Structure 1
């Protein structure tokens, strides 16, 4: 079994520096910490983490609350969190809350019992629930919305949705349907705001008949598109508020013999990996998912280690990615 001396030799550092990096990682530079962790992996060193945690009164773990663990977008956010946590000497626990307050409370007990040092919330709740407001541990939102309390990380969801609707309007579309997420979901609320703002600016009347509410799944996108395409005056474009529902809408159009984008333009939101490889490739809004997770993790660990309380709402840039699924009607 390897020892801390083996780690020090592999890293080219003193045993004191290696010990400091493992016991109190906040007291060494990130470059030193990364060097030590690489050496730990190289020599397969397995420190006594329980003893370390007892000495420091810290678990060196963070809890990530995920509304849907199978959602590809949240998987990308979590990858960004894990990359920072690993570099700074922390482990990551995942809690699949399924948007359930009871499940959130169950997972939060990990922090209350010192099995984790803080929480990264991926749900776009407007603010902390009563339990979280009373908590003594730090919490950071990684996928916030307009009214999410700081500290949080997000994009301008309303602005991004407006940019997508503007893209479709510029291509000549006037009957633009939208597949929203659940009506009360804060991301869906923000994106609906942007969609309606684009219609208003273009002098296009908002038509409630061109709105359907899904649950972010491909199946709900397919079902919503089936309803739109059954209308006597069907839309010429569908803006889906996430990529999975947009891919479901493409399946609906294809099953009816419609060509996307020639007969119907379809766009999404998120830029998950499938978006570039769907048939046709999907026009979408790219969110910097990994960067959002990484920033949230940096903020949380800094708060855990007493390096200052970042009470800022960080708005990261999004990008309109135009691919084959949207085109001019002219």
Structure 2
């Protein structure tokens, strides 16, 4: 096999020093235009390819950043990738990627591998159940002083930067919207497992119900996987109650899409016979039929800010870690309306 051409190969061909070749390939003006042209032509003729790995070893920076997402089966999480990839590409960095499948062992193995391969930093959507010990314990000493930013899901008390959505505010926006429409019988379909988003969204729902003086019934509080099947399967059970809910608040758009599918099977009209809300405002939410009322998580702002923080840490920023919450937005579409049997109820003072 022919050996890969090196800077010395080019230097010998042109009759200059290796340092002159290095400067010329970077268009350094210290090398005359004529010599630069000769060197660059020789490099092209020899098939020279810049060895970024070797250069990274010399600089102590591989030029790569790592991104580990928890679950690609939920399209919401992929929306972060586009925003982050753009920022890293503009910064001249290549992105390594891992799909952790909500599995702690896969996440842990990738974190070690990306450190072994010299990644300059890591953005992480923690898998379900990730604890502070998983990021700062004795088994992950390689993360000590390592640039790491958590997004979407929080890990309490960790010493790393975190950029997350204000999930409690998002549920409050949904509740206030449904309450103003006249809904007093609301059901909760929770998902997300053992994550900050699952805990924060359900806690906010319970708090809003309590503040409004509305009873919380175990028969209308359900938990399951973040899946279409869960949303689809729960509608029959909820509508079979002696007093069924007039609105269903779903942990995510994915669950809400399952509820919408079940509505059509039962002949229910979302937004007329039953109000349904999602959370995340995935791209598909605007194109469901009818279009889904949801809470928009600003994946663009979260992705951009996380990338900015990571690049700053890589560059040497040693300021204390930050925890930033991005405000969500309520997007009202066609799956919410007044309760069917009463129409619009007069406002009722809460709390």
Q: Which interval holds the TM-score relative to the shorter structure?
A: 0.7 to 0.9
* Structure-1 residue corresponding to 2:252: 242
Q: Does 1:15 align with 2:27?
A: yes
Q: Secondary structure at the match of 1:95?
A: strand
Q: Does 1:300 align with 2:298?
A: no
Distance in 1 of aligned mates of 2:225 and 2:326: 25
Question: CA shift at 1:80, angstroms?
Answer: 1.5
Q: Secondary structure at the match of 1:129?
A: helix
130-139 vs 194-203, greater mean Cα deviation: 130-139
TM-score by length of structure 1 reads 0.82
| Residue among 243, 262, 273 paired with 2:283 | 273
Q: Does 1:142 align with 2:184?
A: no
308-317 vs 150-159, greater mean Cα deviation: 308-317
Q: Does 1:109 align with 2:112?
A: yes
> Over residues 209-246 of structure 1, what are the superposed CA-to-partner deviations in whole Å (9 max), with x where a residue is unaligned?
11111211111111122321232321111011110110
Distance in 1 of aligned mates of 2:61 and 2:155: 33
Structure 2: which 5+ residue stretches go unaligned? Answer: 1-6, 8-25, 30-47, 344-351
* Structure-1 residue corresponding to 2:132: 128
C-alpha contact (below 8 Å) 1:221/1:249 kept by paired residues = yes
C-alpha contact (below 8 Å) 1:284/1:320 kept by paired residues = yes
C-alpha contact (below 8 Å) 2:153/2:195 kept by paired residues = no
Q: From the CA coordinates, give the structure whose radius of gyration is larger.
A: 2
C-alpha contact (below 8 Å) 1:146/1:156 kept by paired residues = no
* Structure-1 residue corresponding to 2:224: 214
Question: CA shift at 1:182, angstroms?
Answer: 4.0
Structure 1: which 5+ residue stretches go unaligned? Answer: 4-13, 18-44
Distance in 1 of aligned mates of 2:191 and 2:157: 18
Q: Secondary structure at the match of 2:280?
A: coil
Distance in 1 of aligned mates of 2:110 and 2:165: 26
| Residue among 258, 267, 270 paired with 2:268 | 258
Change (3 A) 1:146 1:172: farther
117-126 vs 172-181, greater mean Cα deviation: 117-126
Distance in 2 of aligned mates of 1:184 and 1:143: 14
* Matched residues, number: 293
TM-score by length of structure 2 reads 0.78
